Structure 1
Amino acid sequence: MKGKPLQDDSNLYRAFCCPDQLTSLELKPKVGFLNKAGELYKFIDPDYRVIDFVNTKNFTEFDKANSKIYDAPASAEVYRNFLDWLFATFNEDEMSFRQNLIKKLRLSAGQKVLITGCGFGDDIGIIYDMVGNSGEIHAQDLSKSMVLSASNKFKQSNVRFSVSTATALPYKSRYFDAVFHFGGINLFGNIKKAIAEMERVCKVNGTILFGDEGIASHLRDTQYAEIAISNNKLWASQPPMELLPYNASKIELSYILGNCFYIIQFSPSDGLPAMNIDILHKGLRGGTARTRYFGQVEGLTLETKQALIQEAKNRNTSIHALLEESIKKMLSL
């Protein structure tokens, strides 16, 4: 993996915005970014590639707990020990696993990618090899120590980092071609907001992929699940399908690593799924989805309903058509 030498180009910071107001930021070279309220978000590395957007005053209880865990002196060792155990347990080669998972994004040269909860940056190199020098990679995490560690490993000019919360991302809306997250979202607290933020920053028809612990439903009542959950309570988590945004399309749910981790993939669309609600139903009832929903009126007596049905049959028409004709005639419409 080779990259261009580090350069001071303000265009490399164009992805960022104020995480609270989503407004534009003013770049202060070699200092940081200034929002419209005068708050300064500082660079915290000598290469001016890592920006600290965290305001601890806005921390939730989950943010405080996660920050304490992942910024602890032993966090790197604990994190590495867990990953070694995890991949050994499921007999997976870590690099092959990461490559196969990221292939689901179907990345190509020149694309813009965001990694949320990047940890120590284990996925950055794989993504860089796919998008190349012409692409753009942003890596985000709440842990300052993890982000700084990742930035020290990846010096490419088109890789940028932020210390920020996943529920208030400091990135412009509809900026990225793909957003990737694996491991951590179960602990984000407001999972719905974290998913909504990934959707907000991803382009329409882009790709969002995220996953975490959660045993597949068909294994829930087995001893296999009991053993797994006894080892790691997070494996009792359910995939948060009900928290996906209403405009999610091309939705896929799958399981990996012994069916103990869920993977959810979707694309943002322009709105709700397309549905033509004006197609006429054939048959006695008749009408359309529109008229059946918006055209509901006060109920009839049973005798009147039965007479209406019989009259529709006699005329070889639908109840809807008969009602429309009768009411319009009565109201002189």
Structure 2
Amino acid sequence: MQRKWIGDGGLQIRMFITIFLLGAVYVFFLAALWSLGAGAMTMLVFAGALMAAQYFFSDKMILWSMGAKEVTPEQAPDLHAMVERLAAMADMPKPRVAMVEHSMANAFATGRDPKHAVVAVTTGLIHQLNRDELEAVLAHELSHVKNRDVMVITLASFFSTLAFMIMRFGMYMGLFGGFGGRGRDSSGNAIILVYFVAVLVWIISFLLIRALSRYREYSADRGAAVLTGSPSHLSSALLKISGRMQRIPKDDLRQVEGANAFFIMPAVSKSSLMELISTHPSLENRLKRLADFEQQMERA
């Protein structure tokens, strides 16, 4: 039985505004690069190639970095059955299933579209959650896949990645002729201008992309609540995952911190700076929204 998505108008408006602002920043950045010559456009093409590689191979990269291994229905029958049922309810292809041998309770989804998606869970998650909670977490990850969040964030990050590259390699490029052949003085001025424009674009786009990522998490939480019919199951799972996370040594969390953007709950401690610029909303805000949505579902 398929479930009908219930949209959040306010959330959709905030996501639209964020994407619009990102677009405005990137149009400004592209215009600046275009005006400063062919060298900058060469960097643009190079960054485009990197983005394409990230887009097409992100599933393999994240699985490799996490040490995730794909499992067959024979190896994990219950897990596959849950994923298959949820995928049918969401009217989407069943993604591949992978497991990570780690005591941390967490899960993630990756892949450029539903046909190339992978949903992965840690062994810690399977051991620490009950069936309803595990199903809610899987529904959250499937919602990311259905919403094509990997594609959205990858595309949104393109010019931010380019700006970061220029920040890192701007001086190196200047040693080899700068961003165009307009003479040494103009070339030097262009390099300085591009560098400061890149810094500005990177800071603004970084904050906007983090905000967009948090909005996508809210959307996936809502999708999970619709698929399972019970927001409280996801709330319970988030509380358990967060509580267990605080007991894991910081060194162990740092080993997987690079995959935070993919996790259902970021692997950071409360003292981490990442809380201020996080890819995920705070636990309190997520629980409040789920509780509000449960009341909305009861009234419907």
Higher helix share: 2
Higher strand share: 1
- TM-score normalized with structure 1 length: 0.29
Between 1 and 2, higher relative CO (CA 8 Å, sep ≥ 6) is seen in 2
Structure ID, larger Rg: 1
